[in-house]
Amino acid sequence: MGKEVKGAVRVGKARHRGKILLENSELIFRGAEFRLKIPFSAMKSVKASDQELHVEGQDGLTIFEVGKAADQWREKILHPKSRAEKLGIKEGVRVRLLGDFESDFLHELRKNKAEIVKASAPGEALTTFLALAGKAALAEIARRARKSKGAEVLWVVYRKGEKEITENDVIAAGRKSGLQDVKVVGFSPTHTALKFVVAVKKRQARTPLDGNRSKAIPSLPEGP
């Protein structure tokens, strides 16, 4: 999920009101009668002026009335963060992968010197990526939640625009499992990634106190 504002777009002499969205690799306009999508790669120049974004593309000049966000959006378009940066992948971080991921993502992890561990490897991983292959895979979120400790992060990756698994389905599964959803990013042109963490008060409840777990939250069985 990117940035979104209500505004207008001007193409030639026409002006349309609607929503303007800044995504990871494209600028999108959605109006009642007009829609537009411009990939960053198709932009020849981007300028911010008087709370407007002036985008020169293959079809000429398009002006987006985005208000105070103009300067910030210009910087994000001209200097986008890498996927690894958006996902918080730093050198040496321990990463567990559950499900199928494309080779380019594995290459990015290795390039950032992440330590990739097997799904069945013992010990904690600071960051776990879970790729959902179908609605039945939502149950894996609860299993990972039972195993999550401290400041561990769970990224749930699912396909965009499919009715079988929606963003609301993923959020509901995470919250039902006692996790807190804190961030959504575009994982790829076809997939979204939603970030979950253990709520701070529950981290404390899961921390051993005087050799025993807190009684506020009972110990849950590890899944198979």
Domains and CATH numbers, the chain: 3-78 (2.30.29.30), 84-206 (3.40.50.150)
Contacts of 110 (CB under 8 A, 6+ apart): 116
Alpha-carbon distance 54 to 215, whole Å? Answer: 58
pLDDT at position 204: 52
> What per-residue confidence (pLDDT) applies to 1?
42
pLDDT at 23 (0 to 100): 85
Name residue 200's amino acid. Answer: V
pTM here is 0.67
Give me the residues of the chain with pLDDT under 70, please.
Answer: 1-2, 121-125, 200-224
Over residues 96-144, the pLDDT tens digits come to 999 999 999 999 999 999 999 877 766 666 899 999 988 889 999 999 8
Question: Tell me, what's the pLDDT at 219?
Answer: 33
**Which two tokens mark 41?**
């790669």
pLDDT (0 to 100) of residue 211: 37
pLDDT given for residue 202 in this prediction: 61
pLDDT of residue 215: 36
Residue 75, classed as helix, strand or coil, is: helix
